[in-house]
């Protein structure tokens, strides 16, 4: 790493002890930015990196609620408002027991660059809670969301900070959060949250957008080698919002998706995953992946283990951070992998990324490949601002244009900086320069 940036990185790590995921995300971005600072000494003089790594505001709060047995439960809520150079803070809320400040900050930091790459007017933020929705009734989830919003509402707004979903937060949770925001503020402020239901201000294609966008981005990478999804053998991790829609889109382009996972195990379905059955099990019944196996003959369910043990030509990690390590990457590469599109945020460890890049595998980092979700959130904000609602076809067309645009910008930036095909470099530099220019233009704030 460039010595000037290494010194700044050292200070950032020392100021934020115990936040391993945040350190990892910062390090990965800094490794790309040496050449930018040779060309733009004003970024160093203006201490842009030091400012970027310090969130504009961090909110941590108590979330008290009662469970169905009447017992008092206490969780911790977070919202990190990281950077507003390009627009209101924008990014999801994650409800998962692993959530702590370091996770929220890594996600918020990545979100700054991702949102810049979309070309939409949105800054970066992220939030969530260590609440575990698994096994909780709808009534418990509602009481939790109402309590969470009873604190969060004073910090957010259409022009301030616009949360959405992430792990553990989907349409149900956004509904409860929106209802409580409306009740407390007495305002029907559609633009305060995205991922809303279609009949009350949501956008068509938002539920599909992240998974679809990841596949569109990956298809663009494949095209640069004269290939496509048609006939590829694909493995997807996760079976949540991003994973299921990535599976659907990849299969619509002619791929065979042979495996997917949840946090308990994975299935191998050599005929190609039955998306309708998967949606029934995971989205309608909120069941476990094991339930899929019991209804479809010739499917293997592996309890525990890693879905990356299944051979693939294209891998789409769509579950969580650091789920694909260097050993798994090396094994996949040995067995014919040609492309990786990250639907999740930072799913590949630094070792895994090095393996993919050293072996010439096409590698689309999350901040570029999964930007379709937040981009479509920005399209939802546009529709809310104009009190309009667009058709599925129009919105999908906009999503496609945005993803192709992100791909082309990353590729062009990698070319410009002398490392063709390096989408990590292209995404980091492309996102950073846009934010850095805006920060300098807006003065020392
Ligand atoms: P969901 O909650 O819908 O699904 C998450 C999936 O990942 C589930 O299958 C879950 O399994 C699995 N999973 C979660 N945590 C772990 C873990 N610690 N270990 C193993 N498996 C795990 O979330 P999303 O699909 O929305 O999000 C998936 C990824 O995509 C995240 O990295 C998120 O940040 C990212 N992302 C999401 C966007 C969105 O629009 N939703 C936009 C851009 C990125 P189980 O059910 O067993 O918990
Ligand atoms: O990681 C992400 O980009 C998201 N979870 C979506 C954020 C959003 O505001 O739609």
* Across 68-91, average pLDDT: 98
Kindly state whether residues 221 and 359 are assigned to the same domain.
yes
Kindly state whether residues 261 and 365 are assigned to the same domain.
yes
Kindly state whether residues 362 and 235 are assigned to the same domain.
yes
Q: How do residues 214-228 score in pLDDT, each as one tens digit?
A: 999 999 999 999 999
115 within domain boundaries:
yes
Dig out the tokens for 123 from the structure.
Answer: 């800054």
* Across 384-413, average pLDDT: 98
Please give the span between the terminal C-alpha atoms of the chain, in angstroms, as a whole number. 28
Taking phi first (over 0 means left), then psi (-120 to 50 degrees means alpha), and beta for anything else, what does residue 443 get?
A: left
Portion of the chain with pLDDT greater than 70, in percent: 100
Kindly state whether residues 118 and 246 are assigned to the same domain.
no
* Distance from C-alpha of 428 to C-alpha of 424, rounded to nearest angstrom: 6
Alpha-carbon 308 to chain mean position: 20
441 within domain boundaries:
no
- Averaged pLDDT score across all residues of the chain: 97
**Residue whose CA is closest, atom 39 of ligand 1?**
166
Task: Tell me what pLDDT residue 373 has.
Answer: 98
203 within domain boundaries:
no
* Across 338-358, average pLDDT: 98
Q: Please say if the pLDDT value at position 210 is more than 90.
A: yes
Kindly state whether residues 229 and 272 are assigned to the same domain.
yes
Q: Could you count the other beta carbons within 10 Å of the beta carbon of residue 397?
A: 13
Q: What's the 268 CA to ligand 1 centre distance in angstroms?
A: 19
- Please work out whether the CB of residue 91 comes within 6 Å of at least one atom of ligand 2: yes
* Across 257-277, average pLDDT: 97
Kindly state whether residues 230 and 181 are assigned to the same domain.
no
Domain boundary among 369, 393, 418: 369
Kindly state whether residues 174 and 65 are assigned to the same domain.
yes
**Nearest 5°: phi and psi at 83?**
-155, 130
**Nearest 5°: phi and psi at 405?**
-60, -45
Ligand 1 neighbours (beta carbon < 6 A): 96, 98, 165-168, 170, 210, 238-243, 262-264, 318-320, 343-345, 370, 373
Q: What is the CATH number of the domain that holds 141?
A: 3.40.50.10860
* Distance from C-alpha of 247 to C-alpha of 261, rounded to nearest angstrom: 12
Closest Cα partner for 204 from 41, 85, 345, 377? 377
248 within domain boundaries:
yes
Range of the domain at 215: 209-369
DSSP string computed for 106-145? HHHHHHHHHHHHHTSS--EEEEEES---TT--HHHHHHHH
Task: Tell me what pLDDT residue 298 has.
Answer: 83
Kindly state whether residues 221 and 94 are assigned to the same domain.
no
For residue 286, give Cα distances in angstroms to 32, 133, 238, 240. 41, 11, 14, 10
Number of structural domains found in the chain: 2
Task: Tell me what pLDDT residue 6 has.
Answer: 96
**Atom number, ligand 1, closest to the C-alpha of residue 371:** 43
Kindly state whether residues 222 and 345 are assigned to the same domain.
yes
Total-model pTM: 0.97
Kindly state whether residues 223 and 305 are assigned to the same domain.
yes
CB 218 within 8 A of CB 236: no
Q: What is the CATH number of the domain that holds 273?
A: 3.40.50.720
Task: Tell me what pLDDT residue 165 has.
Answer: 98
135 within domain boundaries:
yes
Q: Please say if the pLDDT value at position 71 is more than 90.
A: yes
- Please work out whether the CB of residue 206 comes within 6 Å of at least one atom of ligand 2: no
**Atom number, ligand 2, closest to the C-alpha of residue 162:** 9
Q: Where are the alpha helices (DSSP H) in 224-321?
A: 241-252, 275-279, 290-295
**Nearest 5°: phi and psi at 371?**
-70, -5
Q: Please say if the pLDDT value at position 445 is more than 90.
A: no
* Distance from C-alpha of 363 to C-alpha of 47, rounded to nearest angstrom: 31
Residues in contact with 145: Cβ distance below 8 Å, sequence separation at least 6, in sequence order: 173, 176, 177, 180
* Across 48-57, average pLDDT: 98
Kindly state whether residues 243 and 318 are assigned to the same domain.
yes
Domain boundary among 369, 389, 412: 369
DSSP 148: H
Q: How do residues 92-117 score in pLDDT, each as one tens digit?
A: 999 999 999 999 999 999 999 999 99
Task: Tell me what pLDDT residue 1 has.
Answer: 86
Q: What's the 104 CA to ligand 2 centre distance in angstroms?
A: 12
Kindly state whether residues 253 and 155 are assigned to the same domain.
no
6 within domain boundaries:
no
* Distance from C-alpha of 46 to C-alpha of 235, rounded to nearest angstrom: 44
Q: Please say if the pLDDT value at position 343 is more than 90.
A: yes
Task: Report residue 392's pLDDT band, with 50, 70 and 90 as the boundaries.
Answer: very high
**Residue whose CA is closest, atom 13 of ligand 1?**
319
Q: Please say if the pLDDT value at position 259 is more than 90.
A: yes
Domain boundary among 348, 369, 390: 369
**Residue whose CA is closest, atom 22 of ligand 1?**
263
- Under DSSP, is residue 194 helix (H, G, I), strand (E, B) or coil? coil
Task: Report residue 27's pLDDT band, with 50, 70 and 90 as the boundaries.
Answer: very high
Q: How do residues 296-326 score in pLDDT, each as one tens digit?
A: 988 999 999 999 999 999 999 999 999 999 9
Q: Which of 105, 114, 126, 196 is catalytic?
A: 126
Task: Report residue 254's pLDDT band, with 50, 70 and 90 as the boundaries.
Answer: very high
26 within domain boundaries:
no
For tokens 């998967």, the residue is 278
Task: Tell me what pLDDT residue 331 has.
Answer: 98
195 within domain boundaries:
no
* Distance from C-alpha of 440 to C-alpha of 211, rounded to nearest angstrom: 34
126 is catalytic: yes
Q: Output the 3-class SS for 253-319.
A: CCCEEEEEECCCEEEECCCCCCHHHHHHHHHHCCCCCHHHHHHCCCCEEEECCCHHHCCCCEEEECC
CB 113 within 8 A of CB 374: no
Q: What's the 45 CA to ligand 2 centre distance in angstroms?
A: 32
């Amino acid at each position: 790493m460039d010595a000037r940036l290494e010194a700044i990185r050292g200070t950032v790590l020392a100021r934020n002890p115990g936040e391993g995921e945040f350190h990892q995300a910062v390090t990965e971005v800094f490794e790309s930015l040496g050449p930018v600072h040779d060309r733009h000494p004003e970024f160093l003089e203006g201490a842009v990196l030091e400012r970027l790594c310090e969130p504009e505001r961090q909110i941590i709060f108590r979330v008290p609620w009662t469970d169905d047995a009447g017992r008092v439960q206490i969780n911790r809520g977070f919202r990190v408002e990281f950077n507003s150079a390009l627009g209101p803070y924008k990014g999801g809320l994650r409800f998962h027991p692993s959530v702590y400040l370091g996770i929220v900050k890594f996600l918020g930091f990545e979100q700054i660059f991702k949102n810049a790459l979309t070309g939409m007017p949105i800054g970066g933020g992220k939030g969530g809670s260590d609440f575990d929705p698994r096994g909780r009734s709808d009534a418990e989830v509602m009481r939790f969301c109402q309590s969470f919003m009873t604190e969060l509402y004073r910090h957010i707004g259409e022009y301030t900070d616009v949360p959405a979903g992430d792990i553990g937060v989907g349409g149900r949770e956004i509904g409860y959060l929106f209802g409580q925001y409306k009740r407390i503020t007495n305002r029907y402020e559609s633009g305060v949250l995205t991922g809303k239901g279609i009949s009350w201000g949501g956008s068509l294609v938002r539920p599909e957008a992240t998974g679809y966008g990841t596949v569109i981005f990956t298809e663009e990478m494949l095209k640069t080698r004269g290939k496509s999804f048609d006939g590829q053998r694909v493995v997807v991790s996760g079976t949540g919002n991003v994973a299921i829609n990535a599976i659907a889109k990849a299969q619509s382009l002619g791929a065979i998706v042979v495996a997917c996972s949840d946090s308990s195990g994975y299935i191998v379905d050599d005929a190609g995953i039955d998306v309708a059955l998967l949606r029934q099990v995971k989205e309608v019944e909120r069941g476990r992946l094991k339930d899929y196996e019991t209804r479809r003959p010739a499917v293997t369910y592996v309890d525990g283990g890693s879905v990356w043990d299944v051979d693939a030509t294209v891998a789409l990690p769509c579950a969580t951070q650091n789920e694909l390590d260097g050993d798994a990457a090396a094994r996949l590469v040995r067995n014919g992998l040609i492309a990786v599109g990250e639907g999740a945020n930072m799913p590949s460890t630094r070792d895994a990324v090095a393996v993919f890049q050293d072996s010439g595998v096409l590698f689309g980092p999350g901040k570029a490949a999964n930007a379709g979700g937040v981009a479509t959130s920005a399209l939802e904000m546009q529709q809310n601002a104009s009190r309009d609602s667009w058709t599925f076809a129009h919105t999908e067309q906009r999503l496609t244009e945005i993803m192709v645009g992100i791909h082309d910008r990353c590729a062009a930036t990698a070319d410009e900086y002398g490392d063709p095909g390096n989408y990590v470099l292209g995404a980091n530099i492309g996102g950073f320069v846009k934010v850095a220019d805006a920060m300098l233009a807006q003065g020392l704030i």
